[in-house]
Structure 1
Protein backbone atom coordinates (compact mmCIF):
# COMPACT_ATOMS: atom_id res chain seq x y z
CA UNK A 1 0.00 0.00 0.00
CA UNK A 2 2.89 2.38 0.68
CA UNK A 3 3.98 2.04 -2.95
CA UNK A 4 0.80 3.71 -4.23
CA UNK A 5 1.61 7.13 -2.79
CA UNK A 6 4.66 7.84 -5.00
CA UNK A 7 2.81 6.56 -8.08
CA UNK A 8 -0.20 8.74 -7.29
CA UNK A 9 2.08 11.73 -6.67
CA UNK A 10 3.90 11.21 -9.97
CA UNK A 11 0.57 10.92 -11.81
CA UNK A 12 -0.66 14.11 -10.13
CA UNK A 13 2.46 15.97 -11.24
CA UNK A 14 2.14 14.70 -14.85
CA UNK A 15 -1.56 15.66 -15.00
CA UNK A 16 -0.85 19.11 -13.60
CA UNK A 17 2.08 19.65 -15.98
CA UNK A 18 -0.16 18.73 -18.92
CA UNK A 19 -2.78 21.17 -17.66
CA UNK A 20 -0.20 23.96 -17.33
CA UNK A 21 1.19 23.24 -20.81
CA UNK A 22 -2.27 23.70 -22.27
CA UNK A 23 -3.67 26.50 -20.12
CA UNK A 24 -0.83 28.74 -18.95
CA UNK A 25 -0.57 30.79 -22.14
CA UNK A 26 -4.25 31.69 -22.19
CA UNK A 27 -4.29 32.39 -18.44
CA UNK A 28 -1.21 34.61 -18.75
CA UNK A 29 -2.85 36.54 -21.57
CA UNK A 30 -5.98 37.02 -19.46
CA UNK A 31 -3.83 38.16 -16.50
CA UNK A 32 -1.94 40.58 -18.75
CA UNK A 33 -5.22 42.07 -19.97
CA UNK A 34 -6.40 42.41 -16.37
CA UNK A 35 -3.27 44.18 -15.18
CA UNK A 36 -3.18 46.39 -18.31
CA UNK A 37 0.51 45.68 -18.68
CA UNK A 38 2.28 45.36 -21.99
CA UNK A 39 2.60 41.70 -23.07
CA UNK A 40 6.40 41.89 -23.00
CA UNK A 41 6.56 43.68 -19.62
CA UNK A 42 4.01 42.00 -17.34
CA UNK A 43 5.45 41.13 -13.92
CA UNK A 44 2.11 41.64 -12.12
CA UNK A 45 0.35 39.36 -14.61
CA UNK A 46 3.03 36.70 -14.19
CA UNK A 47 2.64 36.89 -10.41
CA UNK A 48 -1.14 36.52 -10.73
CA UNK A 49 -0.63 33.50 -12.99
CA UNK A 50 1.84 31.91 -10.58
CA UNK A 51 -0.56 32.36 -7.66
CA UNK A 52 -3.50 30.97 -9.66
CA UNK A 53 -1.51 27.92 -10.75
CA UNK A 54 -0.23 27.31 -7.21
CA UNK A 55 -3.79 27.52 -5.88
CA UNK A 56 -5.01 25.10 -8.55
CA UNK A 57 -2.18 22.65 -7.83
CA UNK A 58 -2.97 22.77 -4.12
CA UNK A 59 -6.59 21.84 -4.91
CA UNK A 60 -5.74 19.38 -7.70
CA UNK A 61 -6.73 16.20 -5.83
CA UNK A 62 -9.94 17.80 -4.54
CA UNK A 63 -11.24 19.10 -7.88
CA UNK A 64 -13.29 15.90 -8.42
CA UNK A 65 -14.84 16.67 -11.78
CA UNK A 66 -14.39 20.45 -11.59
CA UNK A 67 -12.66 22.06 -14.52
CA UNK A 68 -9.11 22.99 -13.42
CA UNK A 69 -9.07 25.86 -15.92
CA UNK A 70 -12.23 27.30 -14.37
CA UNK A 71 -10.67 26.94 -10.92
CA UNK A 72 -7.51 28.78 -12.04
CA UNK A 73 -9.50 31.49 -13.86
CA UNK A 74 -11.75 32.10 -10.84
CA UNK A 75 -8.75 32.43 -8.56
CA UNK A 76 -7.02 34.74 -11.04
CA UNK A 77 -10.09 36.99 -11.23
CA UNK A 78 -10.84 37.08 -7.52
CA UNK A 79 -7.18 37.62 -6.62
CA UNK A 80 -6.97 40.49 -9.11
CA UNK A 81 -10.18 42.02 -7.74
CA UNK A 82 -9.07 41.57 -4.14
CA UNK A 83 -5.58 43.07 -4.58
CA UNK A 84 -6.90 45.90 -6.74
CA UNK A 85 -9.64 46.64 -4.23
CA UNK A 86 -7.27 46.78 -1.26
CA UNK A 87 -4.40 48.51 -3.02
CA UNK A 88 -6.43 51.22 -4.72
CA UNK A 89 -9.81 51.18 -2.99
CA UNK A 90 -13.03 50.76 -4.92
CA UNK A 91 -11.32 49.41 -8.04
CA UNK A 92 -9.25 52.57 -8.47
CA UNK A 93 -6.82 53.21 -11.28
CA UNK A 94 -3.61 51.20 -11.40
CA UNK A 95 -0.10 52.54 -11.37
CA UNK A 96 1.82 53.56 -14.45
CA UNK A 97 4.27 51.52 -16.46
CA UNK A 98 4.04 49.85 -19.84
CA UNK A 99 0.45 50.01 -20.99
CA UNK A 100 -1.59 47.22 -22.52
CA UNK A 101 -4.59 47.40 -24.85
CA UNK A 102 -7.10 47.74 -22.00
CA UNK A 103 -5.19 50.34 -20.01
CA UNK A 104 -7.85 52.98 -20.70
CA UNK A 105 -10.35 51.02 -18.61
CA UNK A 106 -10.72 50.91 -14.86
CA UNK A 107 -9.68 47.62 -13.19
CA UNK A 108 -13.34 46.70 -12.67
CA UNK A 109 -14.12 47.33 -16.33
CA UNK A 110 -11.11 45.23 -17.38
CA UNK A 111 -12.17 42.42 -15.06
CA UNK A 112 -15.72 42.29 -16.39
CA UNK A 113 -14.61 42.68 -20.02
CA UNK A 114 -11.95 39.96 -19.77
CA UNK A 115 -14.31 37.51 -18.08
CA UNK A 116 -17.23 38.22 -20.42
CA UNK A 117 -15.55 38.77 -23.79
CA UNK A 118 -12.12 37.13 -23.68
CA UNK A 119 -13.05 34.20 -21.43
CA UNK A 120 -16.69 33.86 -22.49
CA UNK A 121 -18.03 33.62 -18.93
CA UNK A 122 -21.80 34.14 -18.76
CA UNK A 123 -23.15 37.34 -17.20
CA UNK A 124 -24.74 35.39 -14.37
CA UNK A 125 -21.49 33.59 -13.53
CA UNK A 126 -19.49 36.82 -13.74
CA UNK A 127 -21.98 38.55 -11.47
CA UNK A 128 -21.85 35.71 -8.94
CA UNK A 129 -18.05 35.60 -9.00
CA UNK A 130 -17.74 39.34 -8.41
CA UNK A 131 -20.70 39.76 -6.08
CA UNK A 132 -22.46 42.20 -8.41
CA UNK A 133 -26.00 42.29 -9.80
CA UNK A 134 -26.33 40.86 -13.33
CA UNK A 135 -27.60 44.21 -14.63
CA UNK A 136 -24.50 45.96 -13.31
CA UNK A 137 -22.20 43.44 -15.02
CA UNK A 138 -24.14 44.01 -18.26
CA UNK A 139 -23.79 47.79 -17.96
CA UNK A 140 -20.09 47.67 -17.08
CA UNK A 141 -19.40 45.32 -19.98
CA UNK A 142 -21.31 47.51 -22.45
CA UNK A 143 -19.47 50.64 -21.34
CA UNK A 144 -16.07 48.96 -21.37
CA UNK A 145 -16.71 47.54 -24.83
CA UNK A 146 -17.76 50.96 -26.12
CA UNK A 147 -14.63 52.53 -24.62
CA UNK A 148 -12.35 49.93 -26.22
CA UNK A 149 -14.07 50.11 -29.60
CA UNK A 150 -14.30 53.91 -29.64
CA UNK A 151 -11.43 55.25 -27.47
CA UNK A 152 -11.64 58.79 -28.83
CA UNK A 153 -15.25 59.28 -27.70
CA UNK A 154 -15.82 60.80 -24.27
CA UNK A 155 -16.88 58.35 -21.56
CA UNK A 156 -20.64 57.91 -21.13
CA UNK A 157 -22.19 60.16 -18.47
CA UNK A 158 -22.85 57.29 -16.04
CA UNK A 159 -19.32 55.90 -16.19
CA UNK A 160 -18.12 57.70 -13.07
CA UNK A 161 -21.10 56.30 -11.16
CA UNK A 162 -20.27 52.78 -12.39
CA UNK A 163 -16.82 53.04 -10.86
CA UNK A 164 -17.85 54.71 -7.63
CA UNK A 165 -19.74 52.04 -5.72
CA UNK A 166 -18.55 48.51 -6.57
CA UNK A 167 -19.04 45.55 -4.31
CA UNK A 168 -16.02 43.57 -3.17
CA UNK A 169 -15.38 40.16 -4.75
CA UNK A 170 -17.39 37.19 -3.56
CA UNK A 171 -15.49 34.73 -1.44
Structure 2
Protein backbone atom coordinates (compact mmCIF):
# COMPACT_ATOMS: atom_id res chain seq x y z
CA UNK A 1 0.00 0.00 0.00
CA UNK A 2 2.77 2.45 0.91
CA UNK A 3 4.61 1.82 -2.39
CA UNK A 4 1.40 2.56 -4.36
CA UNK A 5 0.95 5.83 -2.45
CA UNK A 6 4.53 6.87 -3.13
CA UNK A 7 4.35 6.10 -6.84
CA UNK A 8 1.01 7.82 -7.33
CA UNK A 9 2.09 10.94 -5.47
CA UNK A 10 5.43 10.95 -7.31
CA UNK A 11 3.60 10.80 -10.65
CA UNK A 12 1.41 13.72 -9.58
CA UNK A 13 4.45 15.77 -8.54
CA UNK A 14 6.30 15.04 -11.79
CA UNK A 15 3.31 15.94 -13.92
CA UNK A 16 2.07 19.07 -12.16
CA UNK A 17 5.12 20.66 -10.51
CA UNK A 18 6.07 22.89 -13.48
CA UNK A 19 2.55 24.37 -13.70
CA UNK A 20 2.30 24.76 -9.93
CA UNK A 21 5.74 26.39 -9.82
CA UNK A 22 4.59 28.99 -12.36
CA UNK A 23 1.56 29.79 -10.20
CA UNK A 24 3.80 30.03 -7.12
CA UNK A 25 6.18 32.34 -8.99
CA UNK A 26 3.35 34.63 -10.05
CA UNK A 27 2.23 34.79 -6.43
CA UNK A 28 5.70 35.46 -4.99
CA UNK A 29 7.71 37.13 -7.81
CA UNK A 30 10.79 35.29 -6.56
CA UNK A 31 12.06 31.97 -7.93
CA UNK A 32 13.51 30.77 -4.62
CA UNK A 33 10.45 31.75 -2.62
CA UNK A 34 8.22 30.12 -5.27
CA UNK A 35 10.17 26.88 -4.95
CA UNK A 36 9.87 27.03 -1.15
CA UNK A 37 6.15 27.72 -1.45
CA UNK A 38 5.64 24.79 -3.82
CA UNK A 39 7.68 22.47 -1.64
CA UNK A 40 5.63 23.47 1.40
CA UNK A 41 2.36 22.94 -0.49
CA UNK A 42 3.49 19.52 -1.74
CA UNK A 43 4.56 18.54 1.77
CA UNK A 44 1.15 19.53 3.13
CA UNK A 45 -0.49 17.58 0.31
CA UNK A 46 1.61 14.48 0.91
CA UNK A 47 0.43 14.35 4.53
CA UNK A 48 -3.19 14.09 3.37
CA UNK A 49 -2.70 12.26 0.06
CA UNK A 50 -4.29 9.02 1.27
CA UNK A 51 -7.42 10.93 2.33
CA UNK A 52 -7.75 12.78 -0.98
CA UNK A 53 -10.74 11.02 -2.51
CA UNK A 54 -10.82 12.78 -5.88
CA UNK A 55 -7.29 12.52 -7.27
CA UNK A 56 -8.43 14.38 -10.39
CA UNK A 57 -8.95 17.43 -8.19
CA UNK A 58 -5.46 17.21 -6.66
CA UNK A 59 -4.13 20.07 -8.82
CA UNK A 60 -6.86 22.41 -7.57
CA UNK A 61 -6.24 21.21 -4.01
CA UNK A 62 -2.52 22.00 -4.20
CA UNK A 63 -3.20 25.33 -5.93
CA UNK A 64 -5.47 26.30 -3.05
CA UNK A 65 -2.74 25.34 -0.58
CA UNK A 66 -0.30 27.53 -2.56
CA UNK A 67 -2.60 30.53 -2.29
CA UNK A 68 -3.44 30.10 1.40
CA UNK A 69 0.16 29.39 2.38
CA UNK A 70 1.40 32.39 0.42
CA UNK A 71 -1.20 34.60 2.09
CA UNK A 72 -0.14 33.43 5.56
CA UNK A 73 3.53 33.96 4.67
CA UNK A 74 2.78 37.50 3.47
CA UNK A 75 1.01 38.28 6.73
CA UNK A 76 4.08 37.21 8.68
CA UNK A 77 6.56 39.05 6.44
CA UNK A 78 5.41 42.62 6.10
CA UNK A 79 8.67 44.00 4.66
CA UNK A 80 10.32 42.36 1.71
CA UNK A 81 13.42 44.04 0.36
CA UNK A 82 16.13 42.80 -1.91
CA UNK A 83 19.45 44.55 -1.39
CA UNK A 84 21.85 44.65 -4.30
CA UNK A 85 25.40 45.95 -4.31
CA UNK A 86 25.00 47.03 -7.94
CA UNK A 87 22.15 47.57 -10.35
CA UNK A 88 21.40 44.73 -12.77
CA UNK A 89 22.26 45.35 -16.40
CA UNK A 90 19.34 45.45 -18.82
CA UNK A 91 19.85 43.61 -22.07
CA UNK A 92 18.58 45.24 -25.23
CA UNK A 93 16.53 43.33 -27.73
CA UNK A 94 14.34 41.45 -25.26
CA UNK A 95 11.04 43.36 -25.22
CA UNK A 96 8.99 40.36 -24.06
CA UNK A 97 11.11 40.01 -20.95
CA UNK A 98 10.82 43.73 -20.29
CA UNK A 99 7.03 43.56 -20.61
CA UNK A 100 6.91 40.45 -18.43
CA UNK A 101 9.04 42.25 -15.85
CA UNK A 102 6.70 45.23 -15.87
CA UNK A 103 3.68 42.98 -15.48
CA UNK A 104 5.32 41.12 -12.62
CA UNK A 105 6.22 44.38 -10.87
CA UNK A 106 2.63 45.55 -11.31
CA UNK A 107 1.38 42.28 -9.77
CA UNK A 108 3.73 42.81 -6.82
CA UNK A 109 1.95 46.07 -6.03
CA UNK A 110 -1.38 44.32 -5.47
CA UNK A 111 -2.49 43.11 -2.04
CA UNK A 112 -2.11 39.31 -1.62
CA UNK A 113 -5.80 38.44 -2.00
CA UNK A 114 -6.27 40.64 -5.06
CA UNK A 115 -3.09 39.26 -6.59
CA UNK A 116 -4.31 35.70 -6.03
CA UNK A 117 -7.61 36.52 -7.75
CA UNK A 118 -5.84 38.06 -10.76
CA UNK A 119 -3.43 35.12 -11.05
CA UNK A 120 -6.17 32.49 -10.78
CA UNK A 121 -8.54 34.30 -13.17
CA UNK A 122 -6.06 35.53 -15.79
CA UNK A 123 -3.18 33.08 -15.67
CA UNK A 124 -4.90 29.91 -14.56
CA UNK A 125 -8.07 30.72 -16.51
CA UNK A 126 -10.46 29.77 -13.74
CA UNK A 127 -14.05 30.93 -13.84
CA UNK A 128 -15.33 33.31 -11.20
CA UNK A 129 -17.04 30.42 -9.40
CA UNK A 130 -13.91 28.24 -9.50
CA UNK A 131 -11.79 31.13 -8.22
CA UNK A 132 -14.27 31.81 -5.42
CA UNK A 133 -14.18 28.14 -4.45
CA UNK A 134 -10.37 28.04 -4.56
CA UNK A 135 -10.09 31.10 -2.32
CA UNK A 136 -13.05 30.34 -0.07
CA UNK A 137 -14.90 33.57 -0.80
CA UNK A 138 -17.99 34.73 -2.69
CA UNK A 139 -18.27 35.14 -6.45
CA UNK A 140 -19.04 38.82 -5.89
CA UNK A 141 -15.78 39.23 -4.01
CA UNK A 142 -13.90 37.60 -6.90
CA UNK A 143 -15.59 39.92 -9.39
CA UNK A 144 -14.76 43.07 -7.46
CA UNK A 145 -11.20 41.97 -6.64
CA UNK A 146 -10.53 41.02 -10.28
CA UNK A 147 -11.98 44.27 -11.57
CA UNK A 148 -10.02 46.42 -9.13
CA UNK A 149 -6.87 44.36 -9.54
CA UNK A 150 -6.87 44.50 -13.33
CA UNK A 151 -7.63 48.22 -13.28
CA UNK A 152 -4.72 48.76 -10.89
CA UNK A 153 -2.38 46.63 -13.04
CA UNK A 154 -3.37 48.66 -16.12
CA UNK A 155 -2.61 51.93 -14.33
CA UNK A 156 0.73 50.61 -13.10
CA UNK A 157 1.65 49.32 -16.56
CA UNK A 158 0.71 52.67 -18.13
CA UNK A 159 2.87 54.48 -15.55
CA UNK A 160 5.71 52.05 -16.13
CA UNK A 161 5.45 52.49 -19.90
CA UNK A 162 5.37 56.30 -19.57
CA UNK A 163 8.45 56.21 -17.31
CA UNK A 164 10.46 54.25 -19.89
CA UNK A 165 9.25 56.09 -23.01
CA UNK A 166 11.92 57.90 -24.99
CA UNK A 167 11.44 61.70 -24.92
CA UNK A 168 10.85 63.39 -28.29
CA UNK A 169 14.15 65.32 -28.24
CA UNK A 170 16.22 62.22 -27.45
CA UNK A 171 15.40 60.32 -30.67
**TM-score, L = length of structure 2:** 0.69
Q: How many positions carry a matched residue from both structures?
A: 138
Return closer, same or farther for 1:153/1:132 CA change in 2, 3 Å cut-off: farther
**Unaligned ranges ≥5, structure 1:** 1-7, 89-93, 155-171
Higher Cα Rg, which structure: 2
Give 1:20's match in structure 2, choosing from 10, 13, 17: 13
Cα RMSD after superposing both structures: 2.5
1:144 maps onto 2:134 in alignment: no
Task: List structure 1 runs of 4+ shifted beyond 6 angstroms.
Answer: none
1:114 aligned partner: 119
Query: Which deviations, in whole Å up to 9, do the C-alpha atoms of 1:88-147 show, x marking residues without a partner?
Result: 3xxxxx613397712233322211111222223332343344354432321221222233
Matches within 5 A, 1:27-66: 27-37=20-30, 42-66=31-55
**TM-score, L = length of structure 1:** 0.69
Helix, strand or coil at the partner of 1:148: helix
1:166 aligned partner: none
Helix, strand or coil at the partner of 1:152: helix
**Unaligned ranges ≥5, structure 2:** 84-100, 161-171
1:73 aligned partner: 63
